[in-house]
Chain A
Amino acid sequence: MTLVLSACGHAHGGVPVLRDFHYELPDGLTLLLGPEGAGKSTLLGIAASELTPDSGTVALDGEPAGSHSYRRAVGWMPDGVMPMTGLTAREFVAYVGWLKGMRRGKAWQAAGRALERVRLTEYAGSRTSRLAPDGLALLGSATGLVHGARVLLLDEPTAGLHLHHREVFQDVLRELVDEGDLRVLLATADPATLPALATDGAADTVDTVTVLDTDQDESAPLYSGTAEDFLSRAPEGTARGRAPAAALAAVLGSGRGSGRDSERGSERGSERGDAGPDGVQGSGADGAEGTAR
């Protein structure tokens, strides 16, 4: 059981963003890639129950989106959220815990543990306004952890961060996933968001790469596969450091090719239970673990 979007439709100002969309959040750390306007933030907003889909259902382990238990189980850091001014890091994290329904005392205690998990303990008493951008990104993760979330949704959490800070952030995310029952969905338009994706250790950091395209008619992600499979989509001879961007371009390019529509049926089939033994949908043309429509 996981977070599942079933036949979800959503439109902004009358323009469909998602239509009859199906998605199951895989285990581990999932990187959600796609160009601006592909619907990544909408997908996350619906998954976080910030947005209500015009049609379809969203549930986590059977709990419908919007219910108290659902919101407690889903940590959500939208793009553009700033910590409340005047609060320390621990106070802000505890406040989010309170917002999620925790008692004040328990939220305060849990905030300390959440900050420890994201390596911010030494900044617990610092005003959030004095935190560096990487600290703010980690703080956002802590707000998702404070209430014991089983799913963490992050929208562009590393935008504007330097390479070193992104490395620290990805390491923390990986640790959080490895610690136990936590699934992370990180949406970004920049495939270099997690530096490990451009290294040989990509598979150790990112479990799944999912790609959305701007075509609203699609009922499933354009691509979903392991990091290795995703990177294999890059043209031969591509330098390792450029592989994520090249792979994304290749996936988007192939998705816009003529064979796309004909492959949609098999994609739906994989969602109905035809996934491979590792839970990844289908199999790529080159035999790697992944699928493209």
Chain B
Amino acid sequence: MRLRTRLRAHSALWAAPLAVALTLLVHHTVSAEPAAASYGYAPTLVAGPLSPMYAFAYALTAALGAWEGNRLSRVPVWRLTPNRSRPRIALDGLWPAVLLGWLMLTLPVLIALVQQGVAPTAASLRPLAVGLLVCAAYAVIGFAVGLRLPDVIAAPVLAVVVFLLVATAVALQVNWWRHLVGRYPYIPEFGEVAGWSSMAAHALPTCAFALAIALLWLPVRRLPPRLGPALRVGLVAAVAAAGLGGAYALVKDWGADPPVAHVDIPVRCAGQDPRVCMPEVTADALPDVRAQVVGTLGKLDRAGVDHGATAVHDSLGRGDGTKVSGSRWELPLTDAERRGDLGYQVVRAAVRFPCAEPDPMSRRLALGWAADRADQSESFARVLAEDPHLDSARREEVAGSLGTVLGQSAEDQKRWYRTTLTQACTVGGGDR
């Protein structure tokens, strides 16, 4: 069939406006937030917009597959003794449906990448690639169903069933199920990419089922007439069971989130003592960040806080937390700079106690004093106000104690700071 004819006469043509409108609507209402918090990281930008689209794309592709399968079976094409193979004829009838499903998956990803001005990486496209594969598998499944059932029944029923199957998987308490339905249930954070095992787990069951159901209608001429049906059913069951079983074996011990792989993130660094490094994608802020870090450390130096930092790395993509290991610090530089509390994060890293679990109240006092000396008292006040362990009386107690200390001479304050660090580890744990 000519390309123009195929497109004009295909059910995908009248479904296309609905599919595109639905895709844009879902992307606009659901996917905007992950894109904004992506740091321009391609795996996040790809997986985020994909997440709500899987179920829609699979449902539509399966329904269109059923519609086209029934259209061919009503002729019926197979009785016309075609010289083309059945897979070739099916492909000719299915490719517009598959393309439309692919468009529903690709369009939001493309929009997100263009909006953020980010080029995709090969690893970032893994969830999309699996989505495209599963989409094609659902078209085959729909086609096979359409060969047997009327289109007005097969298409809507398949659309609803497939949508519910895929969309509700992440809402169920059954962890293994959510890893098998073709909907990657996790949005990789900075430095993470979807693992191959989870990709295989999502692709295997649907693709195996599609292959199995295709075997039901593919002509196999050489099977013995009597054994043929039994062999065919056995083969079909074996293929489907192998796909599902193999995927289950992969995921049975997984939690709600699949295991992810980590990638090396290119970084850019500036200066010495301290040398400040940030990921390349957020390194535009590096000069300002380093200036704030150096400025804060200088103030702490002058106040008598012994920090010893020679290298400060952004912890973005490395767990996002604060980790101090001797003179090498990992701080959430990108996030803190965007929140406006970078100086306070430097203070938190600089105030170190000789024990792992210092007395909380002593810690608050030491942090509060250091924050004040580094001109970060506003940030400290915000943290204090949000501290769930403190009532208003305790907050006033902290503020009063700090006021008393800050009223002392500079030398007395240094002495008080050093004593507080030591005493915090001797008065015992627990929140006073």
By a CB distance below 8 angstroms, the chain B residues around A52 are: 221
Contact mask for chain A residues 74-86; partner B; CB cutoff 8 A; 1 contact, 0 none: 1010100111111
- Asked if A84 and B83 make an inter-chain contact with CB atoms under 8 angstroms apart, the answer reads no
Residue B79, interface by CB 8 Å: yes
- Asked if B74 and A104 make an inter-chain contact with CB atoms under 8 angstroms apart, the answer reads no
For the complex, give the distance between the alpha carbons of A49 and B77 in Å. 14
- Whether A85 touches B74, Cβ cut-off 8 Å, given contacts A68-B83, A99-B83, A101-B83, is yes
Question: How near does chain A come to B88, taking the closest CB pair, in angstroms?
Answer: 9
Q: How large is the interface on B (under 10, 10 to 19, 20 to 34, 35 or more residues)?
A: 20 to 34
Residue A94, interface by CB 8 Å: yes
- Asked if A104 and B82 make an inter-chain contact with CB atoms under 8 angstroms apart, the answer reads no
For the complex, give the distance between the alpha carbons of A91 and B84 in Å. 17
Contact mask for chain B residues 45-57; partner A; CB cutoff 8 A; 1 contact, 0 none: 0000000000000
- Asked if B75 and A81 make an inter-chain contact with CB atoms under 8 angstroms apart, the answer reads yes
For the complex, give the distance between the alpha carbons of A49 and B89 in Å. 18
Question: How near does chain A come to B169, taking the closest CB pair, in angstroms?
Answer: 35
By a CB distance below 8 angstroms, the chain B residues around A223 are: none
Question: How near does chain B come to A168, taking the closest CB pair, in angstroms?
Answer: 24
Q: Chain A: which residue is nearest B74 at the CB level?
A: A82
- Whether A98 touches B79, Cβ cut-off 8 Å, given contacts A87-B9, A91-B5, A108-B2, is no
- Asked if B2 and A71 make an inter-chain contact with CB atoms under 8 angstroms apart, the answer reads no
- Asked if A48 and B81 make an inter-chain contact with CB atoms under 8 angstroms apart, the answer reads yes
By a CB distance below 8 angstroms, the chain A residues around B290 are: none
- Asked if B80 and A143 make an inter-chain contact with CB atoms under 8 angstroms apart, the answer reads yes
- Asked if B75 and A83 make an inter-chain contact with CB atoms under 8 angstroms apart, the answer reads yes
Q: Chain B: which residue is nearest A147 at the CB level?
A: B83
- Asked if A74 and B5 make an inter-chain contact with CB atoms under 8 angstroms apart, the answer reads no
By a CB distance below 8 angstroms, the chain A residues around B83 are: 68, 71-72, 99-101
* B84 contact from A74, A84, A98, Cβ within 8 A: A98
Residue B283, interface by CB 8 Å: no
- Asked if A81 and B81 make an inter-chain contact with CB atoms under 8 angstroms apart, the answer reads no
Contact mask for chain A residues 34-53; partner B; CB cutoff 8 A; 1 contact, 0 none: 00000000000000111010
Question: How near does chain A come to B87, taking the closest CB pair, in angstroms?
Answer: 13
Most central of A50, A99, A101, A104 by chain B CB within 10 Å: A99
- Asked if A95 and B71 make an inter-chain contact with CB atoms under 8 angstroms apart, the answer reads no
Contact mask for chain B residues 1-23; partner A; CB cutoff 8 A; 1 contact, 0 none: 11101001110000000000000
Residue B265, interface by CB 8 Å: no
Q: How large is the interface on A (under 10, 10 to 19, 20 to 34, 35 or more residues)?
A: 20 to 34
- Whether A50 touches B81, Cβ cut-off 8 Å, given contacts A91-B1, A94-B1, is yes
By a CB distance below 8 angstroms, the chain B residues around A108 are: 2
Question: How near does chain A come to B144, taking the closest CB pair, in angstroms?
Answer: 18
For the complex, give the distance between the alpha carbons of A101 and B82 in Å. 7
Contact mask for chain B residues 73-99; partner A; CB cutoff 8 A; 1 contact, 0 none: 011110111111000010010000000
For the complex, give the distance between the alpha carbons of A82 and B72 in Å. 10
- Asked if B79 and A50 make an inter-chain contact with CB atoms under 8 angstroms apart, the answer reads yes
By a CB distance below 8 angstroms, the chain B residues around A100 are: 80, 82-84
* A96 contact from B76, B80, B221, Cβ within 8 A: B80
For the complex, give the distance between the alpha carbons of A44 and B412 in Å. 111
Question: How near does chain B come to A136, taking the closest CB pair, in angstroms?
Answer: 12
- Asked if B71 and A85 make an inter-chain contact with CB atoms under 8 angstroms apart, the answer reads yes
- Asked if B80 and A99 make an inter-chain contact with CB atoms under 8 angstroms apart, the answer reads yes
Q: Chain B: which residue is nearest A127 at the CB level?
A: B9
For the complex, give the distance between the alpha carbons of A95 and B3 in Å. 11
By a CB distance below 8 angstroms, the chain A residues around B72 are: 84
For the complex, give the distance between the alpha carbons of A143 and B71 in Å. 18
Question: How near does chain B come to A158, taking the closest CB pair, in angstroms?
Answer: 19
For the complex, give the distance between the alpha carbons of A100 and B89 in Å. 11
By a CB distance below 8 angstroms, the chain B residues around A48 are: 81
For the complex, give the distance between the alpha carbons of A105 and B47 in Å. 42
- Whether A91 touches B9, Cβ cut-off 8 Å, given contacts A85-B74, A104-B1, is yes
Contact mask for chain A residues 10-25; partner B; CB cutoff 8 A; 1 contact, 0 none: 0000000000000000
- Whether A84 touches B71, Cβ cut-off 8 Å, given contacts A68-B83, A71-B81, A76-B80, is yes
For the complex, give the distance between the alpha carbons of A108 and B81 in Å. 19
Q: Chain A: which residue is nearest B78 at the CB level?
A: A50
By a CB distance below 8 angstroms, the chain B residues around A72 are: 83
Question: How near does chain B come to A285, taking the closest CB pair, in angstroms?
Answer: 39
Question: How near does chain B come to A152, taking the closest CB pair, in angstroms?
Answer: 13
Q: Chain A: which residue is nearest B70 at the CB level?
A: A85
- Whether A95 touches B81, Cβ cut-off 8 Å, given contacts A84-B72, A84-B75, A85-B74, is no
A-B contacts besides A78-B79, A84-B74, A98-B92, 9 pairs, CB < 8 Å: A50-B79, A78-B80, A81-B75, A84-B9, A84-B75, A85-B71, A85-B74, A99-B89, A108-B2
Report, nearest first, the 7 A-B pairs whose CB atoms are least far apart: A101-B83, A99-B82, A86-B9, A91-B5, A78-B79, A95-B1, A68-B83
